[in-house]
Amino acid sequence: MVAHAVPTAMQQRTLGFAAGVVVLMLAWDPPLIGPLAGLNFDWSNWNSSDIRPMLGINEWPCDPDNKLLQAQKLILQDASGPESLAFDSTGAGPYTGVSDGRILRWDGDEARWHTFGVTSSIRTEVCDVHPPLVRNEPVCGRPLGLRFDKHDNLYIADAYFGLLVMGPQGGVAKPVSTQAEGVPFRFVNDLDLDENGTVYFTDSSSRRPRSQCNIVTFEQDRSGRVLRYDPKTQQTTVLARELFYPNGIAVSLDSSFMLLSHTSKSRIGKYWLKGPKLGTLEEFAEVPGFPDNIRRTKEGDFWVALHSRVTKLQNFLANHWYLLRILYSLPLRFDFISWLTTGTPDAMVIKFNPNGEAIEAFEDRKGQNARLLSFADERDGVLWMSSVFMPSIWTLPLNASAASHL
């Protein structure tokens, strides 16, 4: 039997001091073994005074029936990540951009997807690898937001290639805007057109590409911009800058304002395009999760898709960011930390009126059918939904008439 020496009081104090030093080093000078190594992570935008208490279940319109469990799921074959959907003027579609850089169009008669076009003019065989690899996106492109103009030209927000346009016959998209004020786009995300065909779009970060989208959230990156592109003059103008993760965008029915989702802040902003508040940005609504795309209905309301709800742990860490800093400094897998801090993979869509009041909400609280939604839009009584992370599209009839036609 081997006797084990009991540490003396001095040794215990020394060990405690050493442990404290290690914790401080991990917290304030992350080693190369941490998940943030080599990412030039910037903590300067963290401000606990800007973090709000998490919206409780009773503070928000909820869906106790979990109606999204009833949504019909359409699985994409050999494709994934349909960030958003669009229909052309004839009603054909939906069209969607997927993670290998293609634009797909649904053929209802044949009940299958066709390749309508691609966003990359430098596409190679690596783009045909399935499942697609994130590291290939700078070559293959990553189409996100889609919108048709009145002439059925398809405008595309490609995360890597900028604002693109594709003709009614498809093919290879043409870049129309890749920088503004000498600053190249790093993460073009969504777009919308006003009644005159002017394009408004978001560049979610001027520092990081889409492949680091989680870092844009965790870092509280505020280098995002909102921009305007005029197809007549081919000029791009910066409307707002230094924004927290500007993502989804939607112009109001009368083009007097546009809504803008701030994903990392769980908020929706309202930017005035006309009137006495022209050029100002104010808060429109707070949401209980991470908002992505916004789409306006024919009546002027807005659907907002949420990736997931904010959890109590995520809100706690946001209010105690020094603990978050320690967590990110530990030698843990990044996907594990992401799971801890970015909410539950459930599904939620919220409908707002133009005054910022939530008037309807649908959920799949456990993510059993729909999950990680990035898009929701209403068309002919049917709610269409999709996910940038999943190989799926969902439809939910909003009335009996629409249900009979699905």
Q: Domain map of the chain by residue range?
A: 60-405
| Percentage of the residues of the chain whose pLDDT score is greater than 90 | 63
Structure tokens at 61: 């319109």
pLDDT at 346: 81
Least confident of 94-98, 298-302, 339-343: 339-343
Between strands 95-97 and 85-86, the pairing is antiparallel
For residue 325, what pLDDT band results from cuts at 50, 70 and 90?
confident
Q: What is the pLDDT of residues 181-214, one digit of tens each?
A: 999 999 999 999 999 999 999 999 999 888 888 7
**Residue of 166, 208, 164, 214 whose CA lies nearest to 184:** 208
Topology classification of domain 60-405: Neuraminidase (2.120.10)
Any bridge partners for residue 155, and if so which? 147, 165
C-alpha 161 chain-centroid distance: 17
pTM: 0.87
pLDDT at 237: 98
For residue 2, what pLDDT band results from cuts at 50, 70 and 90?
very low
Whether 238 shows a pLDDT value over 80: the answer reads: yes
For residue 310, what pLDDT band results from cuts at 50, 70 and 90?
confident
Name the residue with higher pLDDT: 351 or 328: 351
**Residue of 167, 69, 135 whose CA lies nearest to 396:** 69
Residue 91 falls in which region: left (phi positive, over 0), alpha (psi -120 to 50) or beta:
left
Name the residue with higher pLDDT: 266 or 214: 266
DSSP 6-39: PPPHHHHHHHHHHHHHHHHHHHHS--TTSTTTTS
Q: What is the pLDDT of residues 354-379, one digit of tens each?
A: 999 999 999 998 889 999 999 999 99
Any bridge partners for residue 117, and if so which? 103, 171
Whether 22 shows a pLDDT value over 60: the answer reads: no
pLDDT at 37: 59
Whether 402 shows a pLDDT value over 60: the answer reads: yes
Whether 7 shows a pLDDT value over 70: the answer reads: no
pLDDT at 181: 97
Whether 342 shows a pLDDT value over 70: the answer reads: no
Mean pLDDT on 84-95: 97
Any bridge partners for residue 279, and if so which? none
pLDDT at 220: 81
pLDDT at 352: 97
At a CB cut-off of 8 Å and minimum separation 6, what does 85 contact? 93, 94, 95, 96, 146, 375, 377, 384, 386, 393
Whether 29 shows a pLDDT value over 50: the answer reads: no
Whether 12 shows a pLDDT value over 60: the answer reads: no
Mean pLDDT on 249-256: 98
pLDDT at 138: 96
